[in-house]
Structure 1
Amino acid sequence: MSEYTPRRSVLYMPGSNARALEKAKTLPVDALILDLEDAVGPDDKPAAREAACAAVASGEYGDRELTIRVNGIGTQWHDADIAAASAAGPAGIVVPKVNTADEVRGLVAAMESAGAPEHTKLWAMIETPAAIFTIREIAQASDRLAVFVMGTNDLVKELQADHVPGRGPLMTSLSWALLAAREAGIAVLDGVYNAVKDIEGFTAECEQGRDMGFDGKTLIHPGQVEVCNSTFAPSEDAVAEAKGILAAWEEGAGTGVVTHNGKMIENLHVEIARRVLSTHEAILARS
């Protein structure tokens, strides 16, 4: 089992907004995406790049995992973004609209050429039908690829679908990405929820993502952090159940039949219980 890194709440913050970058130092998020792409106008991109890299180098964000989202492959800012972000050495470099395994390998080569330290991983955004159809190859293209980030707004646009409760139009894409990520042993983050004042709808979508198996969710507003952290953390009941299963398993070792609360316990239940407890402990350590 790979070591669990809490990524329950992953908040986009515009790299060009000094107040937002300062506020982010106080937010209880697991990770930040310092954005050089959608949230930054063309004239502000060089300054945003400099500010995001300075934030990474500052050491003022505690245990929050810091990443930088660069502008997309083929844009006029992409190469300079990759070079600067690699030199700054964040936890991850987030790249929009990654569509093929060859693009992953090219991005990794560019990061290594620019001197990215070993801890700086590639986070690939999955946002198009092309990416979904090649998702398995993308997931396995490089050991440096650590996280899939679902770009659900772009997927809805590309599918010519609508944002609807339950996300029926997206379920195939989300499921394929989850399958590929789990096979490759990488993390996968659910997409954003646009209606920042709709707490009920946001909570329901967090619960759906958690139940599907996502590691966490990307966010666009600080007001979404608390619900997200709570939803993607094991509940008190789940932690108690996991401890009970492990205790029963240890007590019944060698007997051939182990039960807990009237249910048969097998190796798979033990593995799930261990994952729940390792997740819980990692979150406590982060807190």
Structure 2
Amino acid sequence: MDLNLRLVRYFVTVADAGTFTKAAEQLHIATPSLSQQVRKLEETLGVSLLERDHRGARLTEAGQDFLEESRALLAAAESAVGAARRHKRSSSGKVRLGFLAGGAGELTRPIVDEFHRREPEVELELTQLAWGDELSALTSGRVDMVVARPPLESHPRLRRVVLFEEPRVLLMAHDHPLARRRKLRIVDLADVVQVDTREGTRDWRNWWSIDPRPDGTRPTYGPMVNSIEEMVQVVATTDAVAITGAGVASLFRRTDTTARPIVDAAPSTVELVFLASDLPRAVERFVAVALGLSAVLGTR
């Protein structure tokens, strides 16, 4: 039996989303086409995987069993592709660095410049990632390492090197009432409206939103954003606020926004993250350069 992994991925997306409509939006394809593709998978397997009704799509008993195996299959396929790509690059003198907007803050440019100075023969390829895309970019082999701001999803081969810590700050419009204060505490955020996002894992979103608060209460969420650039724009033009790292606030500084430290919030770490096995020598050299500069230049 020839099993099409694309169809398997479609099925998993529908199962996770609960409806064909939501899954189609995530996959950027038409809903009728997605339904047809899943039916094609069911015909290949000879079993019904989903029960379709006006409320959405529910897993059949066979679908529940197949979902668990499908996740393992897709993970194994992604790992195999990543291993092949890493092997190809292991002697190519190339480092593929993934980063979120903000990167390593003000250390990003010095690290890149110093690496180019020390290793002029090594090509450094920079790839901007979406929130929550760090682990998949690593396991698929799209990048060799990522400049990340945890928390991150767990993975047995994930290795993390801390570059520095920085305080978390409240980013807000320059005329927001809390902008009158020099520093803030978590309790001061009780009545604010925070931006929200669907990106990243739930643990990641909760940590950055400080949800729940130490007293057990939850933040009030407002506008939905999908990137740091959107977050800054929404904060500048509405009453909504955002919690971010001090380095990010500094890099995206605008005249119509301001940031104040949240003194009792745990600091954010900025880390280099990579998979432990088969680490190319060029990547090891990049890690050494980054650690050396972070030690010399200090935290942000």
Q: TM-score range by the shorter chain?
A: under 0.3
* TM norm structure 2: 0.24
* TM norm structure 1: 0.24
Which has the larger strand fraction? Answer: 2
Which has the larger helix fraction? Answer: 1
Structure with max Cα Rg: 2
